[in-house]
Chains A and B, each alone.
Chain A
Amino acid sequence: MDTLHPLVEALISLMLLIGALFMLVGAIGLVRFGDFFMRLHAPTKATTLGVGGVLIAAMVHSWAGGRFGVPELLITLFLFITAPVSANLMAKAALHLKVPSKAGRPAGIDDGAQTQDKQG
């Protein structure tokens, strides 16, 4: 790659900054919020727009360089598919360990392990 079209370069820079901003917002949320379940919202944010923005920038950069940008696309898809799964598993672990929540304990959840057993 020698020189990029200025518009392409501006687009890449914009996506990079948006992505980095949302990663930072996710981490700030992780530190700032008061209980575990509120903090759980942080990584889902960081993956969706944060990593999404950075990877879109990487893909545009690859296309501008004449390559196809396949690994970037696969990373994006992989993270979009796996982030909700790990968030769900962590929430189940927290419910099972009876981690305190500001919103109180949800009604009808006596033992998180039982619901877990059916799927495992």
Chain B
Amino acid sequence: MMPLALDIAIAAVALAMLLCAFRLFRGPEVTDRLLALDTLYINVVALVVLLGIRQQTELLFEAALIVAMLGFVSTVALARYLTRGDVIE
């Protein structure tokens, strides 16, 4: 039962990532693309965690933690760049 649920979940998250990619390419505003990137990295965190359950390894969870941290920092940096034209004065 659990392998089936895992497969369904991975498929659903992959579909969600495709939808985010659609919004990423479509725009129309630059903030929409930023928002799509933000959602995309959250989806990647979920996908890596799902793969970690599937492959029975603890290592991928720590990879997901790093993805989460890098994603947050890049979203903040891009949002600041859009607001002020500068990341660090």
Contact = CB atoms under 8 A, between A and B. Distances in A.
The answer to A–B direct touch (Cβ < 8 A) is yes
Interface of A: 1, 4, 6, 9-10, 12-14, 16-17, 19-21, 23-24, 26-28, 30-31, 36, 39-40, 42-43, 46-47, 50-51, 54-55, 57-58, 61-62, 65, 67, 71-72, 74-75, 78-79, 82-83, 85-86, 89-90, 92-94, 96-97, 99, 112-113, 116, 120
Interface of B: 1-2, 4-6, 8-10, 12-13, 15-17, 19-20, 22-23, 29-32, 34-36, 38-39, 42-43, 45-46, 49-50, 52-53, 56, 58, 61-62, 64-65, 68-69, 72, 75-76, 79-80, 82-84
A67 B19 CA distance: 35
A27 B17 CA distance: 7
